Amino acid sequence: MTKIDYRPLDELMTTPDGLPMVHRDISWLSFNYRVLQEAMDPAVPLFERIKFLAIYSSNLDEFFKVRMANHRYLLRIGKKTKRELEVDPKVIIKEIRRIVNLQQELYSQIFLEMIVPELRQHGIFLLRRLDLNQEQKDFVESYFHDHMLPFVQPVLMVKNRVRPFLNNAALYLTLQMQPLDGDHPGDEYALVKIPSDHLPRFLKLPSAPHRHELIMLDDIVRHSVSWMFPGYKIIDTFSAKLTRDAELYIDDEFSGDLIQKIRESLAKRHVGPASRFVYDREMPADMLSFLMGVFDLERYDTLREGRYHNNFDFFKFPDFGLTNLQNQPLPPLPYPPLEQARHFFVAIRERDHLLHPPYQSYEAVIRFFEEAAHDPRVTHIKITQYRVARQSRIMQALMDAVKAGKQVSVFIEVKARFDEEANLSWGERLEKAGVNVHYSFPGVKVHSKVALIRRLEKEGPQLYCYLGTGNFHEDTVKVYSDFGLFTADQRLCGEVARLFSFLETVKVPQLAFEHLLVGQFNLRSGLERLIQHEIDAAKAGRPARIILKLNSIQDRDMIELLYKASKAGVKIQLIVRGICCLVPGIEPHSTNIEAISIVDRYLEHARVFYFHHDGEERIYLSSADWMERNLSYRVETAFPIYDDLIKQEIMDYLQIQLNDNVKARVIDPGFKNAYQKTDSDLAIRSQLETYYYVKRKMEQMPT
């Protein structure tokens, strides 16, 4: 197997003043390699390994649409990346291309040398056109003429004269041909679209009993190209795809109609400049050079891949009903204290409740809104929305609430990348239903995951709130691991109400946030004070400990403060799924810092901040990663846990993850992604352990 050698360059590993700090995109590529590790792991069921190939490809596509596009933009305007590392865009582009090329070679090896042979062992055969028998050829040819012919759009390319437009992320076959008449010697080139945007990528073929044979759409087009170019001899065919820059580049968010500017930018997204041209690594150099000329590409725009692209289509690989090749089901566990409560809001007023989907059912969250919509005592419902499911019971509950005469307010962040159109559409539906809809702030994203309900009770108006680490999204909640807190604690609910007042009026609250840490107000300074407290404790010889569970850590100031804490003797443990620009285990900066990353069947999405705080154990759950964008340019929320039982529950979850010796990888300066070894003789797979921990806890709970 191809070995991924990161050989970090000095300027990609340190800031100009010598602070150890990995470039965020090199760290991200190391994370995406951890996804590839799952595709290589023979202990992972076969169809799940195929899904990890899809996840890797989907991740990489988004990376090139956004991050690589940003580097190319900086290269065009002649600027270095700001603040974090002051890196020359040429250097980072070159290193990204080198690493991705190696990963793509490994990807092809995994698929051809591991996945395909194992599929055959289970009677599944992925055929190419030369493998087809006569019955299958007839089937493929009929399918092409009946279903594909209107979409393939064959074009003969002529340099400087015929320049077809390549649709963003669409698949194409490039053809190397020669005229049969012989009057025009030499190769000519043509382009044919592979219509995977209209038709399934995998087609089941007529097969013998107990055999499952299928062919990819790409190879059906390959089989059929000679009919599209009569008079030519087809020499060879090679696949290609162009990914376009997906950044919106809104020139001035602070003037004019921001929503209209976003709509106009979205219309341009699919015709933006190239961010990546991927091609079959077997493509001849002359053909690649011709295509680069036709499509006005530079060398750094191009990237070698295997025979097939858009491999995120592996999400739709047929399973033929073979459930033994999939993950064993872990059905979400009910949360009876709320799901079965006769008086829902009374149950929340009696005590706080922690929900941990997808291990636990999301039904309690949905019921929070549906109960509010139909409860005659509820007067107000407020919620923030960053990403929304296509079919949403929560959104329906909000519209039902308006019909019932309640005041409903929704803040929709329309700058949520790749969800802009969906969020605008939901905003229009809600407005038509009578919901008060508020939209994005210029220059700032609202990323908080909070909801508030006001209910009239005997003692007077009572506030209830739900604070989460993940979106109110009924689809992603099935695979994203998050925390959510139901509470009627007025210390928290009052400040959530204050946050909504700010979102609705854009007026700075007169009272400061004392319990919540809120981006744009006290999030950064509050975290700094908590870290400094641990530093002071360590210097005074008292116990000092920090545990951080994050998606990403990149903010230079926070990393520098953690280094300071490590030097002071604070024990720091990090659980970082994705980007980790901090470098653990480096003398003298980070000898007291350990970091792991967990990639498994669920996407680790919860953010948890633990501080020993002289034994008081301050624990916050949050929507915020420790990236400059989250701490400086977003409205985020970190909320404290006050209930001692819930505190212990969260500590149990963290300890399970820290003890993981099956899916945890060690984050180290060499990007080795080695699996963590522990003293335990027992295999501890944290996500599985968490599921059964929750199950035991629910079974022990009084009915």
Could you tell me if residue 5 is inside a domain? Answer: no
pLDDT band for position 83 (cuts 50, 70, 90):
very low
Q: Return the pLDDT at 80.
A: 54
Question: pLDDT by residue (tens digit) across 529-552?
Answer: 999 999 999 999 999 999 999 999
Question: 365 and 310, same structural domain?
Answer: no
Question: pLDDT by residue (tens digit) across 116-129?
Answer: 999 999 999 999 98
Could you tell me if residue 262 is inside a domain? Answer: yes
Distance CA(564)–CA(521), nearest Å, equals 24
Question: 530 and 473, same structural domain?
Answer: no
Report the DSSP pairing between strands 232-244 and 274-280.
antiparallel
Q: Return the pLDDT at 267.
A: 60
Could you tell me if residue 79 is inside a domain? Answer: yes
Kindly state the average pLDDT of the residues 597-615: 98
Kindly state the average pLDDT of the residues 510-527: 96
pLDDT band for position 296 (cuts 50, 70, 90):
confident
Kindly state the average pLDDT of the residues 335-354: 96
* SS3 label, residue 592: coil
Of 212, 447, 473, 612, catalytic = 447
442 has a pLDDT exceeding 90: no
* SS3 label, residue 589: coil
Q: Return the pLDDT at 253.
A: 52
Please return the burial class of 362, using the count of CB atoms within 10 Å of its CB with bins 0-12, 13-18 and 19+. Answer: buried
Could you tell me if residue 1 is inside a domain? Answer: no
Q: Return the pLDDT at 270.
A: 58
Domain boundary among 272, 304, 325: 325
Q: Return the pLDDT at 324.
A: 95
Question: 528 and 487, same structural domain?
Answer: no
Could you tell me if residue 4 is inside a domain? Answer: no
Query: How much is the pTM?
Result: 0.92
**Degrees to nearest 5, angle at CA 664 with 691 and 306:** 110
Distance CA(218)–CA(508), nearest Å, equals 56
Distance CA(696)–CA(703), nearest Å, equals 14
Q: Is 145 a catalytic residue?
A: no
* C-alpha dihedral sign at 436, 440, 441, 442: negative
Question: 407 and 295, same structural domain?
Answer: no
Closest to 203 (Cα-Cα) out of 135, 132, 140, 131: 140
Q: Return the pLDDT at 85.
A: 45
DSSP one-letter string for 373-442? HH-TTEEEEEEEESS--SS-HHHHHHHHHHHTT-EEEEEE-TTSTT-HHHHHHHHHHHHHTT-EEE-PBT
Kindly state the average pLDDT of the residues 639-656: 98
Kindly state the average pLDDT of the residues 341-349: 96
Q: Are 509 and 515 in contact (CB under 8 A)?
A: no
Question: 641 and 585, same structural domain?
Answer: yes
pLDDT band for position 226 (cuts 50, 70, 90):
confident
612 has a pLDDT exceeding 80: yes
Question: 590 and 446, same structural domain?
Answer: no
pLDDT band for position 622 (cuts 50, 70, 90):
very high
**Degrees to nearest 5, angle at CA 389 with 387 and 391:** 155
Closest to 635 (Cα-Cα) out of 388, 473, 411: 411
**Can you read off the two tokens belonging to residue 435?**
């919901």
pLDDT band for position 405 (cuts 50, 70, 90):
very high
Q: Return the pLDDT at 641.
A: 98
Question: 546 and 462, same structural domain?
Answer: no
State what percent of residues in the chain have pLDDT above 90.
Answer: 71
Could you tell me if residue 275 is inside a domain? Answer: yes
Residue 694's CATH number: 3.30.870.10
Report the DSSP pairing between strands 637-640 and 618-622.
antiparallel
| Distance (Å) of CA 565 to CA 448, 530, 560, 592 | 28, 11, 9, 9
Total domain count for the chain? 3
Q: Are 559 and 553 in contact (CB under 8 A)?
A: yes
pLDDT band for position 254 (cuts 50, 70, 90):
very low
Could you tell me if residue 331 is inside a domain? Answer: no
Question: 148 and 118, same structural domain?
Answer: yes
Question: 559 and 412, same structural domain?
Answer: no
pLDDT band for position 300 (cuts 50, 70, 90):
confident
Residue carrying structure tokens 């006769």: 342
Kindly state the average pLDDT of the residues 394-419: 91
Average model confidence (pLDDT) across the chain: 90
pLDDT band for position 248 (cuts 50, 70, 90):
low
| Distance (Å) of CA 424 to CA 265, 420, 598 | 13, 6, 34
Question: 253 and 133, same structural domain?
Answer: yes
Compute the radius of gyration of the chain from its Cα atoms.
Answer: 27
Q: Return the pLDDT at 265.
A: 61
Helix (H), strand (E) at residue 51: helix 46-63
Kindly state the average pLDDT of the residues 300-309: 87
Could you tell me if residue 119 is inside a domain? Answer: yes
Q: Return the pLDDT at 249.
A: 54
Question: 129 and 41, same structural domain?
Answer: yes
Q: Which of 412-421, 510-519, 553-562 has the lowest mean pLDDT?
A: 412-421
Question: 117 and 91, same structural domain?
Answer: yes
Domain boundary among 278, 303, 325: 325
Domain boundary among 325, 349, 369: 325
Helix (H), strand (E) at residue 690: helix 686-700
Kindly state the average pLDDT of the residues 397-422: 89
**Can you read off the two tokens belonging to residue 663?**
């899916």
261 has a pLDDT exceeding 60: no
Give the CA diameter of the chain: 95
Closest to 687 (Cα-Cα) out of 589, 598, 584: 598
49 has a pLDDT exceeding 90: yes
Which domain covers residue 186, as residue numbers? 10-325
84 has a pLDDT exceeding 60: no
Q: Are 387 and 419 in contact (CB under 8 A)?
A: yes
Cα distance from N-terminal residue to C-terminal residue, the chain? 54
Residue carrying structure tokens 């079965």: 340
Residue 23's CATH number: 3.30.1840.10
